[in-house]
Chains A and B, each alone.
Chain A
Amino acid sequence: MKHCPSILILACLAITGVHAESVVIQNATILTVSNGTIPNGSIVITDGKITAVGKDVVVPAGARVIDASGKFVMPGLIDCHSHIAVSGSVNEGSLSVTSMVGVEEVIDPSDIDIYRDLAGGVTTANILHGSANAIGGKNAVIKLRWGKDAAGLLFRGAKPGIKFALGENPKRSSSSPATDANRRYPVTRMGVEDVIRDAFTRARDYMREWKDFENGENGKSSIIPPRRNLELEPLAEILRGERLVHAHCYRADEILMLIRLADEFGFKVATFQHVLEGYKVAKEIAAHGAGASTFSDWWAYKVEAYDAIPYNAAIMTRKGVVVSINSDSAEEARHLNQEAAKSIKYGGLSEVEALKLVTLNPAKQLQVDNRIGSIETGKDADLVIYNQHPLSVYAAVEKVLIDGEVYFDIEQDRKRQESIVAEKKRLKELDERRGDTRPRGPENRRPRPGDKGQKEGGDQR
Chain B
Amino acid sequence: MKKKFSVLGLLGVMLLAIGAGARAEAPAVLAIQGARIVPVSGPVLEKGTVVVRDGLIEAVGASVPIPADARVLDGSGLTVYPGLIDALTDLGLPQTSAPAAVRTGGGGAPGLGTPGVVVQTVRPAQETPSRDRASVSSYVRAADLVVAGGTRIEEARRAGITAALVAPPRGIFSGQSAVISLGDNSRDLVVRTPVAMHVGLSAGGGFREFPGSLMGVMAHISQTLLDALHQQQAWSVYSKNKRGVRRPATDRALEALLPVVDGTLPLVVTASQDFEIARAVALAEKHKVKIILSGGQEAGKTSSLLKSKNIPVLVSLNFPERERDVAPDFDETLAQLRRRVEAPQNVVALHKGQIRFAFYSDGLSNPRDFVRNAGRAVQAGVPADAALRALTLSAAEILGVDAQLGSVESGKIANLVVTDGDLFAERTRIKYVVVDGKTYDVPAETPRPTGGPAAAPTVDVTGRWSGTAETQQGTQPFSIELVQQGETLTGTVSSPTRGTTDIQTGTISGSEVRFKASIPVAERTVEASFVATISGQELRGTITLGSDAAVPFTARKEPR
Contact of A95 among B124, B152, B215, B533 (CB under 8 A): B124
Contact of B341 among A91, A97, A434, A457 (CB under 8 A): A434
A131 CA / B165 CA spacing, docked (Å): 42
Which B residues lie within 8 Å of A102 (CB)? Answer: 215, 218-219
How many whole Å from B533's CB to the nearest CB in chain A? 5
Within 8 A of A (CB), among B411-457: 426, 445-451, 454-455
Segment with Cβ contacts to B, from A117-125, A241-249, A297-305, A438-446: A438-446
A56 in contact (CB, < 8 A): no
Contacts A150-B278, A430-B341 known; A449 to B510 CB distance under 8 Å? Answer: yes
Segment with Cβ contacts to A, from B25-33, B57-65, B99-107, B205-213: B205-213
Among residues of B, the one whose C-beta sits closest to the C-beta of A179 is B497
Which B residues lie within 8 Å of A434 (CB)? Answer: 341
A405 CA / B334 CA spacing, docked (Å): 26
- Chain B, interface residues (CB within 8 Å), range: 35 or more
A446 CA / B206 CA spacing, docked (Å): 33
Within 8 A of A (CB), among B107-146: 120-124, 126, 128
Among residues of A, the one whose C-beta sits closest to the C-beta of B534 is A449
Among residues of A, the one whose C-beta sits closest to the C-beta of B426 is A439
How many whole Å from B94's CB to the nearest CB in chain A? 10
Could you tell me the dominant secondary structure of chain B's interface residues? Answer: loop
Mask, B238-259, CB within 8 Å of A = 1, is 1001001110100000000000
Contacts A102-B219, A458-B365 known; A223 to B207 CB distance under 8 Å? Answer: no
Mask, A411-443, CB within 8 Å of B = 1, is 000000000100110011011001000011111
Which A residues lie within 8 Å of B509 (CB)? Answer: 448
Which A residues lie within 8 Å of B90 (CB)? Answer: 460-461
A35 in contact (CB, < 8 A): no
B279 in contact (CB, < 8 A): yes
**Contact assessment for B275 and A92 in the assembled complex, using a CB-CB cutoff below 8 Å:** no
A108 in contact (CB, < 8 A): yes
How many whole Å from A154's CB to the nearest CB in chain B? 12
Among residues of A, the one whose C-beta sits closest to the C-beta of B452 is A445
Segment with Cβ contacts to B, from A47-55, A226-234, A268-276, A319-327: A226-234
A459 CA / B369 CA spacing, docked (Å): 14
How many whole Å from A259's CB to the nearest CB in chain B? 24
How many whole Å from B226's CB to the nearest CB in chain A? 5
**Contact assessment for B223 and A460 in the assembled complex, using a CB-CB cutoff below 8 Å:** no
B500 in contact (CB, < 8 A): no
A460 CA / B96 CA spacing, docked (Å): 10
B549 in contact (CB, < 8 A): yes
A179 CA / B499 CA spacing, docked (Å): 12
**Contact assessment for A457 and B207 in the assembled complex, using a CB-CB cutoff below 8 Å:** no
How many whole Å from A329's CB to the nearest CB in chain B? 13
Segment with Cβ contacts to A, from B1-9, B68-76, B227-235, B400-408: B227-235
Centre residue among A106, A202, A230, A460 by max chain B CB count within 10 A: A460
Among residues of A, the one whose C-beta sits closest to the C-beta of B533 is A449
Contacts A88-B203, A228-B226 known; A101 to B213 CB distance under 8 Å? Answer: yes
Among residues of A, the one whose C-beta sits closest to the C-beta of B455 is A448
Contacts A149-B275, A230-B226 known; A91 to B523 CB distance under 8 Å? Answer: yes
Within 8 A of A (CB), among B9-35: none
Among residues of A, the one whose C-beta sits closest to the C-beta of B305 is A149
**Contact assessment for B365 and A457 in the assembled complex, using a CB-CB cutoff below 8 Å:** no
How many cross-chain pairs have Cβ atoms below 8 Å apart between A and B?
246
A447 CA / B337 CA spacing, docked (Å): 25
**Contact assessment for A92 and B216 in the assembled complex, using a CB-CB cutoff below 8 Å:** yes
A75 in contact (CB, < 8 A): no
**Contact assessment for B230 and A101 in the assembled complex, using a CB-CB cutoff below 8 Å:** no
Among residues of A, the one whose C-beta sits closest to the C-beta of B244 is A220
B154 in contact (CB, < 8 A): yes
A157 in contact (CB, < 8 A): no
Which B residues lie within 8 Å of A458 (CB)? Answer: 365, 531, 533, 541-542
**Contact assessment for A101 and B216 in the assembled complex, using a CB-CB cutoff below 8 Å:** yes
**Contact assessment for A94 and B215 in the assembled complex, using a CB-CB cutoff below 8 Å:** no
Contacts A91-B207, A93-B206, A97-B124 known; A105 to B279 CB distance under 8 Å? Answer: yes
A428 CA / B282 CA spacing, docked (Å): 35
**Contact assessment for B450 and A440 in the assembled complex, using a CB-CB cutoff below 8 Å:** yes
**Contact assessment for B123 and A461 in the assembled complex, using a CB-CB cutoff below 8 Å:** no
Can you pick out 18 interface pairs between chain A and chain B where the beta carbons lie within 8 Å of each other?
A: A89-B214, A91-B523, A92-B219, A101-B215, A102-B219, A106-B279, A427-B342, A428-B337, A431-B337, A442-B445, A442-B449, A445-B450, A447-B366, A453-B367, A456-B150, A457-B540, A457-B541, A457-B552
Residues of B near any A CB (own CB < 8 A): 89-90, 93, 95, 120-124, 126, 128, 150-152, 154-155, 169, 203, 205-216, 218-219, 222-223, 226-227, 230, 233-234, 237-238, 241, 244-246, 248, 273-276, 278-279, 282-283, 322, 332, 334-335, 337-338, 340-342, 362-368, 372, 426, 445-451, 454-455, 496-497, 509-512, 522-524, 531, 533, 540-542, 549-550, 552
Which 6 residue pairs are nearest across A and B when measured between Cβ atoms?
A88-B214, A453-B155, A93-B207, A442-B448, A89-B213, A94-B210
